[in-house]
Chains A and B, each alone.
Chain A
Amino acid sequence: MNKTVTINISGIIFHIEEDAYQTLSNYLRTIKGYFSKTDGGNEIMADIEARIAELLQQKINLNKQVVLMPDVENVMEIMGKPEEFASDDSNSQNTDNEQQHAHASAEKITRRLFRNPDEKAIGGVCSGIAAYFDIDTVWVRLAMFLLIFFGGLSLWVYLVMWIIIPLAQTTADKLAMRGEAINIDNISKTIKEEAEELKNRYGKNFDSKRFTANVKNGASATANTIANVIGRAIGLFIVFLGGTLLIAYISSIFGISVVNSNSDLVHWKSVIFDSGADYVWAIISFMIVFGIPVFMLLFTGIKLLFKISYHNRWLNYSLGLVWLIGFVLGFYVTVKTVKQFAETSKIKETYVLHNMGDTIVLKLNPSSEILKTYTFENTDDIENNFQNNHNSYFLGEEKSSLSVLGLASLDITESPSDSVELIIYNTSKGYSKQDANQNAKSIKYSYKQTNNTLIFDQIFTVLNGQKFRAQSVNIKLKLPKGKVVYFDNSVKYLLDDVDNTTNTWDGDMAGRRWIMTDKGLACIDCNGLDDDSDEDDNNKQKRIIIQGTEINIDENGSNIKIDENGLKINDKDAKIKIDENGNIKIKTTKKEKAVEDK
């Protein structure tokens, strides 16, 4: 007992045994493959199917209603091998050069990418590619292996190819995989005998009319080849792009950012996200929202490169849906996290300082003491950062729990009263006023006063276990008029855009004494310093413009001109002219007359 399948060939219904069906179906598919690129390929297919139907019909009768394997084999024998008759015709269409070309392009077109089941280590992808490019499998495997070290690129590429490249199942597939089916040697073998018979009767090609048609065919084949090459080039580019993005993507997920080894998102997660779950969601949504497009890009590129027509609507829809879910998730986590920063709270503490004397000295408490209690991922970077900007934060580890550290900033303004006031603002964000307030209270910052010296900490810390909520510490020192302040050199990293009469940069204010005046801080011992504001004024007053042979001095409206006519100097007080003959004319407001008289 055998299972049968019902098939419809050319409108006639046949019952056919399953194995016979498989054979016939493969046969037809192979023929179709050969004619898919030929003009009128569908028509040829229909004709062939009609003939097969006719032949099969002769095989069945009332007593034998099922098509069996021998029947199919017989039909195939009558019709011939697909590579025989298909290539035979394309052979006849072309002459000489034309023909070589047709073979070259036919070979390219029929060569298809399959996974090779006969020579596989994992999924037969490498050997399939090797067969496709007609190179040794060893090289492809070696390349795959080496590419693993580029962020695991080949692992992903391999996985994608494993999924989308079909396995070579039939002999026809395997022939197409190696591109063996259509070549002149194969054809010549099959037709040799008949050709022998004709050899003595016939001399040369016999029609010239057909040549024009051949040229047309050749042209369209060339156009096809060009389109092919362009398609593949685009595919290759997309694969390259996708691969690069994939590397960036993978390395960012694992926190091994190629560019900056200090981006330790893994550490920050516990102080930024509200809960551990939020972090997990954020990572998942990141993986989905960026991963899926990267995957699709790679997928499309490989499809283009190897001319694989794989279209799976289900895959597209589900990937689209997953992406949407990932996006919504990411949106949710982002909104939730941003909300943690919605409200601001500022706690102001005012200290009135006494017994300061006339000159106040400002110093920085060496941060090393605070830093000693913490351990850092990268101490060098942190010390470097301490000297550069005010708005940076660090994570320090103390007794295996993380704390946020930040840099304080100092500004100096005029005091409305006669006393020296020190105001410290502790600012923080939070999801509510109350929360923000709580967070602001968790800031630890201190300064010391000894006699006339104020010693500030550079670093403020946030209480252990407290989240990062953009905490900041701003110190405002209010000086009454006439007070002098001396910035110790160490304090320059604390100063934040301190206003002064000369617009001097914070870094240059250190190591000098400044006095509080009506207009702000003025420098007492700034001699020799390149003063920003001074420079501006000088430029305005002494602007000298040189235009060709003319020199203009703005302030006085003076002008000096040297050309082939000699030298001319014009000024509102004096005019001097030396002409080409050596005559000198001088006019001044004082002696104008006298010169003219001469």
Chain B
Amino acid sequence: MEQVNTDNTKAQMRKGVLELCILSILSQGDAYPTEIIDKLKDTKLVVVEGTLYPLLTRLKNTGLLGYRWEESTSGPPRKYYKLTEIGEQYLKELQISWEELVNAVNSTIEKGKKL
């Protein structure tokens, strides 16, 4: 049981960060999934691409993201996602709490190391 719970926590952590990363990428400008994936791949946050699609749809459905269609020269039309106003606000909150967390966690870990 304990084992299962820690695994859950890990998954939750990773997912939370992934969401933050997607929102951050989109705050730099509209992007379609492949672009987002390419950027995420550098951070090794996304191992398989399939993970992204359900997440994007869910973010869109909760109103954090919007999208528009754009023709592509080399394939099917692309779905360009962009941050909505709610999304931007949400991102700001996330960033703040992220930094707080990083500081708190880092300092805790540092203390732990010193001991």
Contacts of B54 in A (CB 8 A): 35, 38, 44, 85-86, 88-89
Assess whether B105 is in contact with A88, with CB atoms less than 8 Å apart.
no
Is A201 among interface residues, defined by CB-CB distance under 8 A? yes
**Chain A proximity mask over B38-72: 1 for CB below 8 Å, otherwise 0:** 00000011011111111111101110000000001
Contacts of A86 in B (CB 8 A): 50, 54
Contacts of A89 in B (CB 8 A): 15, 51, 54-55, 58
Contacts of B58 in A (CB 8 A): 39-40, 89, 93
Contacts of B75 in A (CB 8 A): 12, 50, 53-54, 57
Assess whether B109 is in contact with A200, with CB atoms less than 8 Å apart.
yes
Complex formed: what's the CA distance from A202 to B97 in Å?
Answer: 12
Q: List B2-58 residues whose CB lies under 8 Å from chain A.
A: 4, 7-17, 19, 33-34, 44-45, 47-58
Assess whether B14 is in contact with A195, with CB atoms less than 8 Å apart.
yes
In the complex, how many angstroms separate the beta carbon of A523 from the nearest chain B beta carbon? 93
Is A271 among interface residues, defined by CB-CB distance under 8 A? no
- Interfacial residues, chain B to chain A (CB-CB below 8 A): 4, 7-17, 19, 33-34, 44-45, 47-58, 60-62, 72, 74-79, 90, 94, 97-98, 101-102, 104-105, 108-109
Dominant SS among interface residues on chain A: helix
Contacts of A213 in B (CB 8 A): 62
Contacts of A77 in B (CB 8 A): 48
Is A65 among interface residues, defined by CB-CB distance under 8 A? no
- Contacts A47-B56, A203-B101; A195 near B13 (Cβ below 8 A): yes
Assess whether A91 is in contact with B11, with CB atoms less than 8 Å apart.
yes
- Contacts A39-B61, A47-B56; A205 near B50 (Cβ below 8 A): no
Assess whether A201 is in contact with B102, with CB atoms less than 8 Å apart.
yes
Contacts of B10 in A (CB 8 A): 191-192, 195-196, 198-199
Task: Show 26 residue pairs from A and B whose CB-CB distance is below 8 angstroms, ordered by the A residue.
Answer: A38-B54, A39-B61, A44-B57, A47-B33, A48-B50, A50-B79, A51-B33, A53-B76, A80-B48, A85-B50, A91-B15, A92-B55, A93-B58, A96-B8, A184-B7, A191-B10, A192-B7, A194-B44, A195-B7, A198-B13, A198-B14, A198-B17, A203-B101, A205-B9, A206-B16, A206-B97
Known: A10-B76, A44-B53, A85-B54; 19 extra A-B contacts, CB below 8 A, are A40-B58, A40-B61, A43-B57, A48-B53, A79-B50, A84-B48, A85-B53, A89-B54, A91-B11, A91-B15, A191-B14, A194-B44, A196-B10, A198-B14, A198-B17, A204-B9, A205-B9, A207-B94, A213-B62
Specify the chain B residue showing the minimal Cβ separation from A199.
Answer: B10
Contacts of A35 in B (CB 8 A): 54
List of 8 A-B pairs having minimum Cβ-Cβ separation, nearest first = A80-B48, A195-B10, A92-B15, A85-B50, A89-B54, A188-B7, A85-B51, A10-B76
Complex formed: what's the CA distance from A213 to B62 in Å?
Answer: 8
Is A72 among interface residues, defined by CB-CB distance under 8 A? no
Contacts of A50 in B (CB 8 A): 75-79
Assess whether A80 is in contact with B51, with CB atoms less than 8 Å apart.
yes
- Contacts A80-B49, A92-B11, A203-B101; A54 near B76 (Cβ below 8 A): yes
In the complex, how many angstroms separate the beta carbon of B18 from the nearest chain A beta carbon? 8
Q: Which of A11, A39, A79 contacts B76 (CB 8 A)?
A: A11
Specify the chain B residue showing the minimal Cβ separation from A193.
Answer: B47
Complex formed: what's the CA distance from A407 to B63 in Å?
Answer: 88
Q: List A16-48 residues whose CB lies under 8 Å from chain B.
A: 31, 35, 38-40, 43-44, 47-48
Contacts of A51 in B (CB 8 A): 33-34, 49, 53
Contacts of A199 in B (CB 8 A): 10
Complex formed: what's the CA distance from A152 to B16 in Å?
Answer: 58
Assess whether A31 is in contact with B9, with CB atoms less than 8 Å apart.
no
In the complex, how many angstroms separate the beta carbon of B68 from the nearest chain A beta carbon? 14
Q: Which of B44, B49, B60, B102 has the most CB of A within 10 A?
A: B49
In the complex, how many angstroms separate the beta carbon of A139 from the nearest chain B beta carbon? 29
In the complex, how many angstroms separate the beta carbon of B10 from the nearest chain A beta carbon? 3
Contacts of B52 in A (CB 8 A): 85
Q: Which of B8, B13, B33, B76 contacts A202 (CB 8 A)?
A: B13
Is A187 among interface residues, defined by CB-CB distance under 8 A? yes
Q: List A48-101 residues whose CB lies under 8 Å from chain B.
A: 48, 50-51, 53-54, 57, 77-82, 84-86, 88-89, 91-93, 95-96, 99
Specify the chain A residue showing the minimal Cβ separation from B100.
Answer: A206
Specify the chain A residue showing the minimal Cβ separation from B98.
Answer: A206
Complex formed: what's the CA distance from A302 to B108 in Å?
Answer: 59
Specify the chain A residue showing the minimal Cβ separation from B102.
Answer: A201
Contacts of B109 in A (CB 8 A): 200
Contacts of B47 in A (CB 8 A): 80, 194
Complex formed: what's the CA distance from A11 to B60 in Å?
Answer: 23
Contacts of B90 in A (CB 8 A): 209
Q: Which of B58, B60, B74, B102 has the most CB of A within 10 A?
A: B58
Q: List A73-131 residues whose CB lies under 8 Å from chain B.
A: 77-82, 84-86, 88-89, 91-93, 95-96, 99
Complex formed: what's the CA distance from A99 to B50 in Å?
Answer: 21
In the complex, how many angstroms separate the beta carbon of A416 from the nearest chain B beta carbon? 100
Contacts of A200 in B (CB 8 A): 109
Contacts of B57 in A (CB 8 A): 40, 43-44, 47
Specify the chain B residue showing the minimal Cβ separation from A91.
Answer: B11
In the complex, how many angstroms separate the beta carbon of A299 from the nearest chain B beta carbon? 36
Complex formed: what's the CA distance from A284 to B71 in Å?
Answer: 64
